[in-house]
Structure 1
């Protein structure tokens, strides 16, 4: 008697699963594209809270009990200056559970968000950026990068002339250098709000707009590169424009435009001297969150308007996602928005490109030799100091 195996062949199972994944991927892409085009998610029942949640959020590789002394000092600046606020750190190990809780089937039921976040395990900076937006949409409060120190208490975030119930989000200017907006390398970074520290109420449409923009961007990149999201290759500028300050700024300006009923550009925030509210977003001058950066008229941390100090010690991600570096003249970002320095870099690189390839190679060889000599000299100095600490 002939018998039949009731289980379908392995190849058929694999084909069915593959088709299901393709359908899910296509559905999510169309879904996100439509919502992005039509203005993102705007829940008609959305009613913002009158007050900001008294919660401070950070994320890091390990929990607060295992912080290095440096990170502990930064964290304590927030807790000691804001005793009435709760403080929570999500780690590389605990963040996935958080995302599943709020965006899984028993939360907002967004499997596309959960799947994408899990897929980003190999691209930590993108995952980290996305996490802050997911947290702030779900629960709101104050976000601060692990290397940000509180200079003043959170109660100083909203000047007394504003009513907290009329403000849904508090942000500061990071870069206000519109003179470079057409520069081929600096243009996308020349006008941006700061996302290493900001405050918002939960369930804001702007946060969901930003989250959906990121998912759509990742799906489009995955298709264009022909690889899964987990295998995407991104450079410095792609990170900034995809999930960093540029993406943050784009989403906020778009949501301001929806709220105000007119197109909002960067113009209202250029040379901002006093805080102003646009589209229920309170925008603080650059001194508030970006003091000490040395550009955009940001002042210093001694100014009365300075609220935080960003130490930048957690910004090692550019080593995995490098900036464009000219083989002879290096990175234009080292000019830190100085017009004369940028103009000289542009002139030098343009001259380099005009040379025959043979001359270019000679210039690169000379630069490499000079760098090697400088490294040897630095190593000799370090060696002498190690032998004779008193020389330091």
Structure 2
């Protein structure tokens, strides 16, 4: 009986040695193989033969999304696995791209971000109905109302590796400037939905993108704030077509957000050196608000780094969006008509709150303004 136990033990040792040798030989054979990166991701799929930049194809009379009028992004680079490296010598834009890479095929994060002086737990919080509408329309989403004090620490946490962003945020002299900047920063880093505290969610964000548009092809959803058709529009609005930034949905790392964070950071540090933050020419709207937001989006639509411009007969401009009453897809961006985020304003073609395209109701209280300058209706945030 004892001899059988000894024999079993010896046999186990022999088998262990055998498997160890086999494992070493197998590993060496992989190491010497022709492909030195066995876990390398496959290259991006080649673009289809009919993939073109369709700037010239965006007929201003076209009011609905169709594949034929879609502007197509260039081949999306496959995000590589991060290697630890010194980013201090990178440009600000590249630092942001490294810190928060973009993957259009990922899901929209289930976050809702809002900012206000107090949280709903505070007795002085006066936007309970508005805030509750977002929670009711988005069960299962993480919904946060961020105070100024919390925002400071959150930005420090998210952007610690990029000190110029922190310096710019801290240098902004007015709460409205910080509030504008915060929405871009939080969406760049975490994605999800940002919406002003004085907005009501009429429909869930799950209904914002048409069913005909694959969700894995979209990284940013925006709406039209102003589409003035009056000859004196410059007296009332900053741009002929103005995109609103009181409600934005994005995936983290989107190039538009990367670009606007770079612009505001660099402009803030420049104004800090000059000692002049705001003036008639350097207003909030132009500095951090819908004017610079609109400019950044149009620059993206016409950027050859992201779109194939070889077949384009002209830049995408306000003509491609004026008068639309249904969503339009441009590359990885869905542009919603004015009714979606501005229903009930009774101007510029906006329809009422019960319209199928009405998604968000904005009270336009101008909460960032002094009490005597606040208003209901009209434009502005």
- Same fold by TM (over 0.5)? yes
2:138 matched to 1:82?
Answer: yes
1:166 is aligned to 217
Say which of 334, 351, 362 aligns to 1:310.
362
User: Which residue is equivalent to 2:349?
Assistant: 297
Q: Secondary structure at the match of 2:302?
A: helix
**Is 1:247 aligned to 2:281, yes or no?**
no
* C-alpha distance in structure 2 between counterparts of 1:159 and 1:267, whole Å: 22
- Structure 1 residue ranges without an equivalent (≥5): 1-27, 324-332, 338-392
Q: Distance in 1 between matches of 2:249 and 2:377?
A: 30
Q: 1:207 aligned to 2:248?
A: no
Structure whose alpha-carbon radius of gyration is higher: 2
Distance in 2, matches of 1:85 and 1:125, equals: 26
- CA offsets, 1:211-240, max 9 Å, x none? 1111222233334xx32xxx7334597111
Asked if the contact 2:327/2:334 (under 8 Å) is kept, the reply is: yes
Alpha-carbon distance in 2 for matches of 1:289, 1:260: 27
Instruction: Select between 41-50 and 195-204 the one with higher mean Cα deviation.
Output: 41-50
Distance of 1:40 and 1:319 partners within structure 2: 40
TM (norm. structure 2) is: 0.67
- 2:130 corresponds to 1:130: no
CA distance in 1, matches of 2:376, 2:208: 31
Equivalent residue number for residue 7 of structure 1: none
CA contact 2:325–2:339 (8 Å) conserved in 1: no
Could you tell me the TM-score, scaled by structure 1's length?
A: 0.65
Q: Pick 1 or 2: higher relative contact order, CA cutoff 8 A, min separation 6.
A: 2
Preserved contact between residue 109 and residue 191 of structure 2 (Cα < 8 Å): yes
The answer to whether the aligner puts 1:141 opposite 2:192 as a matched pair is yes
Q: Go from structure 1 to structure 2 and tell me whether the alpha carbon gap of 1:199 and 1:236 turns closer, same or farther (over 3 Å shift).
A: farther
**Cα distance, 1:274 vs. partner?**
1.8
Question: What is residue 267 of structure 1 aligned with on the other side?
Answer: 319
Structure with greater helix percent: 1
Aligned residues: 283
Q: CA deviation at 1:45?
A: 6.3
What does residue 285 of structure 1 align with?
Answer: 337
Q: Secondary structure at the match of 1:94?
A: helix
Q: Does structure 2 conserve the Cα–Cα contact (< 8 Å) formed by 1:56 and 1:88?
A: yes
The corresponding residue for 1:276 is: 328
For the pair 1:192 / 2:265, whether they are aligned, the reply is no
Partners of 1:265 and 1:334 in 2: how far apart?
29
Tell me: CA distance 1:267–1:98, structure 2 relative to 1, closer, same or farther (3 Å).
same
CA offsets per residue over residues 62-83 of structure 1, 9 Å max, x none?
Answer: 1221164641111110101111
**Pair 1:93–1:42, CA change in 2 (3 A):** closer
